[in-house]
Amino acid sequence: MSELMEIAARLDAAMFNATATPQLGDTLSVADAYRVQEASMARRYARGERRVGIKMGFTSRAKMAQMGVDAMIWGRLTDAMLVEDGGAVRFSAYVHPRVEPEIAFLLKAPLPRTVTPAGALAAVGGVAAALEIIDSRYENFKFSLTDVIADNSSSSGFVIGPWADPAIDLSNLGMIMEIDGQPRQIGSSAAILGNPLRSLVAAARLAHDAGEPLGAGDIVMAGGATAAEHLSVGNHVRLVVSRLGRVEFRVG
């Protein structure tokens, strides 16, 4: 167990100092990788950060195939990771920053472990266009599945647009992510498991199994709808989602 704590400390230091760290390799099991993630995040909580929800990963079938996996992954979101809509982030705070377009949910009621999409929707107080800033802390942006999980599933920041009525049909919303005014990724919410609500259902199960059931006030990022794009100093990123609106931020 001490080895896992040492890995957690190393990854936490890499995140805190925005410095690359060597790969962990394939020696970790998935269960141990999640233990490392939990321990690494505990260090952040001890410094004053507060968990505000979770992010889902590998919710796109194409992404699963690319990584050679058949299951989703997840990570924790904290209040320190939240970027104000229209605000700015420091490029120097990251190692290999990228951004991807997502859909975010805000819960108004707890979610049980097993819930139907309709049941999950009933617990949603708002839905919004969102952008996730992902950042692998590994050298040369090379990593295994368990490397990613241990590194909080690469989650580093998130930006959420205005909350909208969750009664909107989320199954096929057009999504355009622009960088510096130029469309860079065009996709649909259908890429998120056919409907982002299915990601929310999976999130309820995964969070419950980890002893952190989703409750009122929690935010769930449903997963990337397209490939991620590199970020550079000076970039202005904007996502427009049909019927949901827009969300944006700048890189300083």
pLDDT exceeds cutoff 80 at 195: yes
Task: Provide the sign of the torsion angle of the four alpha carbons 49, 51, 56, 57, taken in this order.
Answer: positive
Span 72-109, pLDDT tens digits: 999 999 999 999 999 999 999 999 999 999 999 999 99
What confidence category does residue 63 fall into, taking pLDDT thresholds of 50, 70 and 90? low
How far, in Å, CA of 28 to CA of 141, rounded? 18
Q: What is the mean pLDDT of residues 191-211?
A: 97
What percentage of residues in the chain have a pLDDT greater than 70? 95
Six token digits for residue 112: 């049980």
Q: Are 43 and 9 in contact (CB under 8 A)?
A: yes
Neighbours of 180 (CB within 10 A): 11
Q: Are 247 and 131 in contact (CB under 8 A)?
A: yes
Enter the pTM of the model.
Answer: 0.95
pLDDT exceeds cutoff 70 at 123: yes
88-89 and 124-135: which strand pairing? unpaired
What confidence category does residue 110 fall into, taking pLDDT thresholds of 50, 70 and 90? very high
Q: What is the DSSP string of 50-97?
A: -EEEEEEE--SHHHHHHHT-SS-EEEEEEGGGEE-TT-EE-GGG-SSE
Residue 1: what pLDDT?
63
Residue 155: what pLDDT?
96
Residue 52 exposure: Cα atoms within 13 Å on the Cβ side: 17
Residue 143: what pLDDT?
86
Span 160-176, pLDDT tens digits: 999 999 999 999 999 99
| Crossing angle (nearest 10°) for helices 2-17 and 30-46 | 60
Average pLDDT in the chain: 94
Six token digits for residue 80: 């320190």
Residue 60: what pLDDT?
78
Q: Are 239 and 83 in contact (CB under 8 A)?
A: no
Q: What is the DSSP string of the chain?
A: -HHHHHHHHHHHHHHHHT--B----S-S-HHHHHHHHHHHHHHHHHTT--EEEEEEE--SHHHHHHHT-SS-EEEEEEGGGEE-TT-EE-GGG-SSEEEEEEEEEEESS---SS--HHHHHHTEEEEEEEEEEEE--BGGG---HHHHHHTGGGEEEEEE---B-TTS--TT-EEEEEETTEEEEEEEGGGTTTSHHHHHHHHHHHHHHTT----TT-EEE---SS--EE--TT-EEEEEETTTEEEEEEE-
Higher pLDDT, 92 or 68: 92
